[in-house]
Amino acid sequence: MTAAAAANALQDKFASAISAHVSFRGEETLKVDPASLKTILSHCKSELGFDYLVDVSSLDHLGDDHAGNRFEMVYELYSYKDKIHLRVRSEVPDQTGKVESVVDLWPTANWHEREVYDMMGIDFSGHPDLRRILMWEGYPFFPLRKDFPLGGKETDVPDVAFTGTAPLAGGPFVTVPADATTVHREPRSRDL
């Protein structure tokens, strides 16, 4: 089975729950309805042979020209049998901020979902051990959210850890995509 055939099979079976199917340079991406996300991922594993979850990541659309919900989940699947990739995206409902955990399908999702929870603050229902993984228990912020400042915020958890604000000295220095020379692209202090 090719990746396109797998994506088409999913689209035929879950037509109402799949809102978009994008093929770009051989990469198949499906955008699915959050209510059906777990059902579709379960079907991918049991029926379509996607036995390997490569990665789980999340996006923060704050400030984007984006009509839907703020957060979005991205699941990268791989089939060792057919050697094909499939990407499944799903928005996180703003009302609940919750996604169903897929740890019972792929145990590797355990730490991936903990990282998403730690960095983005997305909650996973059914996760067996949803603790922070990079920051420490008691850290009050979710540092990869778009509204979190790059230099950080001050916190103090006595006897555990503290944080301060990093001096940015005119920064953050960011690159921008440009067709002109590297002078236009290179990192400079800009208003984000």
**Residues making contact with other proteins (CB under 8 A):** 134-136, 141, 143, 148-153, 159-164, 166-169, 171-172
* 78/141 with CB nearer other proteins: 141
Cβ-contact 88, 28 below 8 angstroms = no
Rounded to an integer, what distance in angstroms lies between the CA atom of residue 182 and that of residue 171?
Answer: 19
Least distance CB 133 / other proteins (angstroms):
11
Longest dimension (CA), the chain: 56
Rounded to an integer, what distance in angstroms lies between the CA atom of residue 170 and that of residue 173?
Answer: 8
* 158/177 with CB nearer other proteins: 158
Q: Can you give the C-alpha Rg of the chain in angstroms?
A: 19
* 107/164 with CB nearer other proteins: 164
Least distance CB 136 / other proteins (angstroms):
6
Least distance CB 110 / other proteins (angstroms):
20
